[in-house]
Amino acid sequence: MISEKTFISLDKESKAVWICHACKNRQPKSDNQNTPIRGNTMYSEGCMEKETEELASNLNVKVRAKSNRREVSPLPATIEEIGDLLDNKLSNPSPIFRKLRWTILEDIKAIISQD
């Protein structure tokens, strides 16, 4: 930061090239034209067209073949069907499995009652 007194004491040439700190902070710090991340910021129409063509050639687009099969969603299961399924899967009389079964059934009932 330069004081007003110091600025007044500068010669004409120094004052002509002096830039305030706020303006200087807005200017790029250095030339970064050769960085791989940032390209040339000064585009002409020809450059833009060339870059667009290069980007388009780098795209990998694969179109899936349409399936003749229709998507069929399964019918919603009833609480009893889910309970029977759980009974079959968790037939072990272990207290852990009974607690798990009860918790899952309660969660399913809560979800179904929300619909």
> 34: which DSSP letter?
T
**Tokens 């960085």 found at:** 35
- Distance separating alpha carbons of residues 87 and 52, to the nearest angstrom: 61
Length of the chain counted residue by residue? 115
pLDDT in tens, 22-40: 787 777 777 766 666 654 5
- Distance separating alpha carbons of residues 72 and 47, to the nearest angstrom: 50
Tokens of 52: 């667009």
Q: Which pLDDT belongs to residue 97?
A: 76
Which runs of E-coded beta strand occur in the chain? none
pTM here? 0.22
